[in-house]
Structure 1
């Protein structure tokens, strides 16, 4: 008996340009969010995908925050 997996829109995988378009930023800023670990992603070789659910949770968590400042601080701390 095979198992049937039903995906809904929460399971949708979004590319970096898709995420950038959705949040109104450049793909490089999305990559910075991924590089710092603020926004979780799934790796497929060199490709990174963000679950729609994870993006929505990320947006809830950081609503009202200046993410540019947070990313800049995290990059500086990593050096």
Structure 2
């Protein structure tokens, strides 16, 4: 079972638990957290994505054209950080050498 939580969900859960169990002082009962998302690098260019994946831009375009990584166009193509993370998690353990023919990695053959 995979459970994925972002930082805001974790913070909200902890504060909720503290309030529920009366572990906050009376003055702190009205505590709120102004969560500021890490807005740096929320969108990656194709080149940035290639660098993160340690590959080249042509290969990233192949993955995009195969429909494996969603993009949006804001002047140039951008890939959401979350979309890249989802792609990497979904295809872990797969051989994506040919994006149109994805196969399981044969770990026993890795040299």
Residue 68 of structure 2 aligns to a residue in which SS? Answer: coil
Moved over 4 A (4+): none
Q: C-alpha deviations, 1:32-60, integer Å up to 9, x for none? A: 11111100111225x11000010001000
2:45 paired residue among 11, 15, 24: 15
What is the RMSD computed on CA atoms of the aligned residues? 2.2
Give how far 1:31 is off: 0.5
Structure 2: any 5+ residue segments left out of the alignment? Answer: 1-35, 103-111
The equivalent of 1:66 in structure 2 is 95
* Higher relative helix content: 1
How much does 1:9 deviate? 4.2
Q: For the structure 1 residues 33 and 10, does the alpha-carbon distance in structure 2 shift closer, same or farther, using more than 3 Å as the test?
A: farther
TM-score of the pair, normalised by structure 1: 0.73
Distance of aligned partners of 1:17 and 1:10 in 2 relative to their CA distance in 1, 3 Å threshold: same
Kindly indicate whether structure 1 or structure 2 has the higher relative contact order, using CA contacts under 8 Å at least 6 residues apart: 1
For the pair shown, the structure with the greater C-alpha radius of gyration is 2
Task: Count matched residues.
Answer: 67
| Deviation sequence 1:1-43 (CA, Å, 0-9, x none) | xxxxx65349710000100000100010001111111001112
